[in-house]
Structure 1
């Protein structure tokens, strides 16, 4: 819900910084430093049977993907998942060691980690508890007799991480980034995104049918007979479909101006939701808010109509499924298995459940990730690595500034504002300077679901506590052990967690600058900085406010150039009948494209580029592009691919390689790409933005 241009980085590379540019040095947190012979970091992955001009992704990564098929327990697999396995092993040891300490002080990090781990791993306890941890909430739902009482329950469930009917949050006002504001946005759907309810592609239709079966199965597990459950499920599906119909499409959620509708709580009630007295509801959460930023007013008007016209029994069933699905992984085996049967097997294509200990670590990271993170970086990520990557950001920032200065389509006035914003980008590398305080989080050994509920309630209270206070611009929205990165436009910041700088089996010294620049500098650092200047990020100024700092003519030129990229990606059809949504994925595609150009500019200043010597048969520039492709080694099952095409603003990895590279002349030259090949784009057809 928070407006973050997050890049789905599957992995990132450990590199060192010397003299302000990326170089080679000591090993980082996860590198295997054993002095054993290893294959070349990029050449070993190449499938020479594929012509790079036909499909560079398969050429660069094909050998690795053939040698690493997707495990039965996974919906996707790539080098990033191998990084995750390495992280799992380290975090598991931290958790098991904590659980083994019988004398851990009450309220200490060790006690909280140990008790969460021990309780989540106790399957017998989960069986004995059954639905007992949700007894109070289910009783509230049983008492629903009309729309008003259904809303009472929905508001009570929000602090427990159950987004029934809509979603809600307190975060920065997009037009006043120094203010924490109340936001209300569309939500309440059990399927990943609104188009799942309407798309006619055969695979999507099967998912819809399976979802109705899932609804019926959950209702049976809650006590309904098979015939009644089947009828009830159809009515719940009809209710959700009506909500989906009034929800905005994925691409429309990326327009920050259209999704910014500021109004007083009383006005929100009067104009859109007479059934919800927003002033009173917000005060119930101790939020005396002068205004609410409503993301999609028409959704709330539609919700009002559906609440008025839906019988209480349907609302009760909807709320029951919303609650149980939100806690399924922390409940007994029958419910957990049913949730996996739909959300894992049908929706994601997994053949079997992932091991319980891995799922426990995922839950533990969600519940108290910064506690684990503090221990993690102390043991595995030295301060020197943080400083190296701080310097890497500056190398990329400098290259971007030089590229901006040379643009022939942007006016001097807009360039001046762009340089101001670029200079103001805050870098957060490795881990926070100040750690989050979890002292009020209660964790015990009564039940797994209780611990999850306590963690969600703690997170909710932590969010609400920010209202009316100065914005904490030092806060992180990802843990250090997350192999991902993001750009936050409201803070004008890039955030690069420690785990991102990891690749299994290689120390920093094993990897040459060419690969490092393609792999880390281009696909991560350059990518995230470019988000500040993509179709969405460019609408925020240097201070993180949604404000127009472009001349009208420059904005027109940018949009014309961006539209060429929309058309390019709209033409890709990863699954028969399902194309990439070029408009929804535009920001990520621009960031990929810009990151490559900036990373290449920076690489051309290195000694390796100037020497021009081959390594493992590849020139420095070829190795740069192979390094970029390395960052997207990733395969996914058709089911997972279908989900990403419908609900993700990122193009699938293969097209994040082939798509932007086809627009770059240096790539054509490096690999001899010729007319008639799939990777070839005539100069007149190439996207030219940055």
Structure 2
């Protein structure tokens, strides 16, 4: 659900305030009247009306690219986890989590280590004198944290044909810029970014010991090679088409795609199962081109590329000089972030990434009650019930497709709070005073854990987010909706608040994730999570016509400068935003049908529902980030995730007595409506 909004005329970057660990999560209400700007007419701009005060009072911190209700809640979570991890690391004999955090916070040890932790992979790259060594070398790099950055990724995934089975997936990688067109756009901003990227590569290689002249030549070689790979890489919107990424192959077919690369040797060195009946290659054209490059590129240039991929994927875990060099391009240039994150925040985020469910047990035990879980499950069941009734009432969908839609809905699993079975990290060795080694061993542990799933039946209890993550998601192949404990805390779900803002906020989030099962991408998967067309041709066409209304609307919105939303990329999220709030509104009406509701804070109950909805994404972003976000992220900016939804809901205009001709009122014939 995370997104950003662009606000014209942002003030200078705020200096990062001195932050301290928290012993408990702070409370902010899910409808905050101080976050509003009541000088704005809600019939002209709901977002500014609901969020104007929040944006004024919450400038973007100097170490952030964007700042919103979600990111602020996540930051408060991190401060709470900082306190928890600090206590664990201060124990006389700290256990795994405490040792990890303590080693990460030991900056003196980090400074003295230098590049010592990369000695083995750098020596292996230097020793590459025969292309037959490449499979084992790539496996070594992939195990230690460069998976995906070093040319490609190799992981487990659900079989598109049979979602109960887990098979191997090979994905495209190797690019240092955010997406493929960043290598080809000719506008001044894009040209400047490429120049800055080359300068960053050059500086990094000098730090590794190359002369300035050698580094300059090598940086150009890197850009040339990455540009060639970008040419055969999918655009972000292409990756949203599951039929393009579903390319089942036998091992013989995979080997034929890259004849000079020994996949058996790679799998053996990586630790993948020896027997792989099938492999899914997400981008065969890329893999074929990469295979040719691996055989024709001079070995010295191949070594240069591998060194760059290793150091660019490892720099954030090295000493301060490397962190700052990495931030100079990926933070400042690409996202406009003036300041490096404080060390505590980096260490909390890494603990979450590498020991997330161990940390999650601590978080849940202190912050997620059985009563809260029951309340959210009730809301989820209500919203699923609304969806079932709405499917029955659709005038554009025939009975055959309706039956399949209701079957999928009935099969959809609700996951609320945390997994039923916690992940076992006992095989992950964490050593005090060895931060980079811990990161590398953590990467190897995760690669091994992931590869072990190949060839086995699917574990439907697995989660893709940790409980302390302020976010939610739908998994099309699992056909489940997932709401971590941290997204069910104030100011998102607020047990102290009346139902209206809770249904507008959390209800909208639940509806959003549910609708993902029926958006332009999710609708292509059936009740069992198979990539299978269950729509009649007539009904599919009717859906596409309604979805195109949303796409056309969002394509008109300006992100920053003259850059418009890429509505082909954002369509699924835009459909989920709209459909999700429609479901939440009806569920709330049913919840309060027998109640007599009075206005509060100068807002009617209906107005509280919509303001509660709008305030989930009060946010703003730096221009640099907004540009990158528009080209890579499937979510529209926050302003349009709010106004773009409300303008399609006649109930909103009724709630605020808006009149025809005002910006938040569409002509009835122009209203976009799918579900």
TM-score higher than 0.5 here? yes
SS of the aligned residue for 1:102 comes to: coil
Residues 520-557 of structure 1: per-residue CA shift (max 9 Å, x gap): 001x1100011010111111111111111111111111
TM-score by length of structure 1 reads 0.91
Per-residue deviation at 1:123?
A: 0.9
- Equivalent residue, structure 2, for 1:260: 246
Question: Do structure 1's residue 70 and structure 2's residue 60 form an aligned pair?
Answer: yes
Instruction: Measure, in 1, the Cα distance between the counterparts of 2:90 and 2:507.
Output: 41
Residues 1:687 and 2:665 aligned together: no
Cross-structure match for 1:361: 348
* 3-state DSSP of counterpart to 1:170: strand
1:590-605 aligned at under 5 Å gives the runs: 590-605=575-590
Q: 2:398 matched to 1:411?
A: yes
Secondary structure of the residue that 1:449 maps to in structure 2?
Answer: helix
- State how far apart, in whole Å, the 1-side matches of 2:461 and 2:505 are: 27
Aligned to 1:15: none
What residue is the counterpart of 2:601 in the other structure? 616
- 8 Å contact from structure 2 (residues 521, 572) kept in 1: yes
Measure the CA separation in 2 of the matches of 1:267 and 1:507: 53
Q: Which of 672-681 and 375-384 deviates more?
A: 672-681
1:328 aligns with 2:312: no
1:566-585: CA deviation from partner (whole Å, max 9, x where unpaired): 22112212112322111111
CA contact (8 A) 1:178 1:470 kept: yes
Q: Which moves more between the two structures, 536-545 or 564-573?
A: 564-573
> Is 1:140–1:153's contact at 8 Å kept on the other side of the alignment?
yes
The alpha carbon displacement at 1:274 in A equals: 1.2
Q: Distance in 2 between matches of 1:9 and 1:520?
A: 16
Pair 1:638 & 2:628 matched: no
Residue 483 (structure 2) aligned to one of 496, 502, 511: 496
Paired positions, count: 653
Q: Of 157, 176, 180, which aligns to 1:194?
A: 180
CA contact (8 A) 1:146 1:311 kept: no
Secondary structure in 1 aligned to 2:237? helix
Q: Where does 1:490-569 land on structure 2 (aligned, <5 Å)?
A: 490-503=477-490, 508-509=495-496, 511-522=497-508, 524-569=509-554
Q: 370, 391, 415: which is aligned to 2:357? A: 370
Residue deviations 1:490-525 (CA, integer Å, cap 9, x gap): 11101100000122599622x111101101001x11
Residue 366 (structure 1) shift: 0.6
SS at match of 1:250: coil
What is the CA-CA distance between 1:451 and the residue it aligns to?
A: 0.4
Alignment partner, residue 103 of structure 1: 93
Match of 2:574 in 1: 589
Contact residue 493 and residue 506 of structure 2 kept, 8 A: no
Structure 1 residue 573 corresponds to structure 2 residue 563:
no
Match of 2:409 in 1: 422
Among 357, 381, 385, the alignment partner of 1:394 is 381
Residue 2 of structure 2 is aligned to residue 8 of structure 1: yes
Q: d(CA) in 2 for partners of 1:103 and 1:281?
A: 39
**Runs of at least 5 residues in structure 1 that lack an aligned partner in the other structure:** 1-6, 11-28, 105-110
1:296 is aligned to 2:280: no
Deviation at 1:610, TM superposition (A): 5.7
The 5 Å alignment of 1:172-321 reads: 172-270=158-256, 272-284=257-269, 285-287=271-273, 288-321=275-308
Counterpart Cα distance in 2 of 1:264 and 1:348: 41
Give the Cα separation in 2 of the matches to 1:634 and 1:201.
28
Partner secondary structure for residue 482 of structure 2? strand
Match of 1:16 in 2: none
| Secondary structure of residue in 1 paired with 2:158 | strand
Between the aligned partners of 1:632 and 1:592, the Cα distance in structure 2 is 12
Give the corresponding residue for 2:81.
91
Q: Which runs of 5+ in 2 are unaligned?
A: 5-22
- Which stretches of structure 1, 4 residues or more, deviate above 6 A after TM superposition? none
CA separation of 1:577/1:198 partners in 2, compared to 1, >3 Å: closer, same or farther? farther
Q: 1:47 aligns with which of 1, 20, 37?
A: 37
Aligned residue in 2 for 1:107:
none
- Mapped to 2, the partners of 1:534 and 1:435 lie a distance apart of 31
Pick one of 82, 99, 124 that aligns with 2:108: 124
> 1:14 — aligned with what?
none
Compute the displacement of 1:146 (Å): 5.6
Q: Report the TM-score when normalising by structure 2.
A: 0.93
Whole-Å separation in 2 of the counterparts to 1:426 and 1:9: 25
Does residue 143 of structure 2 align to residue 159 of structure 1? yes
Q: Tell me the secondary structure at the aligned position of residue 384 of structure 1.
A: helix
Residues 388-410 of structure 1: CA distance to partner in whole angstroms, max 9, x if unpaired?
Answer: 21111101111111111111100
Contact 1:199 1:205 (8 Å CA) reproduced: yes
Matched, 1:113 2:113: no
Do the aligned residues in 2 keep the contact of 1:150 with 1:315 (CA within 8 Å)? Answer: no
Deviation at 1:675, TM superposition (A): 4.3
Deviation at 1:147, TM superposition (A): 4.7
Q: Distance in 2 between matches of 1:422 and 1:309?
A: 51
Q: What's the CA shift string for 1:184-220, capped at 9, x where partnerless?
A: 1211111121122123344333222211111111111
- Counterpart of 2:655 (choices 670, 674, 685) is 670
Change in Cα spacing, 1:506 to 1:455, as seen in structure 2 (3 Å) is closer
Distance (Å, rounded) in 1 between the aligned partners of 2:132 and 2:207: 27
Q: Is the 8 A contact 2:31 2:491 kept in 1?
A: no
| Equivalence for 2:9 | none
State the alpha-carbon separation in 1 of the partners of residues 378 and 24 from structure 2.
20
Structure 1 equivalent of residue 18 of structure 2:
none
Cα distance in 2 for partners of 1:446, 1:676 equals 65
Q: Distance in 1 between matches of 2:545 and 2:336?
A: 38
Alpha-carbon spacing, 1:40–1:565, altered in 2? closer, same or farther (3 Å): closer
Alignment partner of 2:568: what SS? Answer: coil
In the aligned structure 2, how far is the partner of 1:40 from the partner of 1:686? 29
Partner in structure 1 of residue 367 of structure 2: 380
User: Any idea what SS the aligned residue of 1:561 has?
Assistant: helix
Could you tell me which residue of structure 1 aligns to residue 69 of structure 2? 79
Q: Paired residue for 1:26?
A: none
Contact kept, 8 Å, 2:25 with 2:77, in 1: the verdict is no
Q: Is the 8 A contact 1:517 1:599 kept in 2?
A: yes
Rounded to whole Å, the distance in 1 between the matches of 2:164 and 2:335 is: 39
Larger displacement relative to structure 2 (67-76 or 296-305)? 296-305
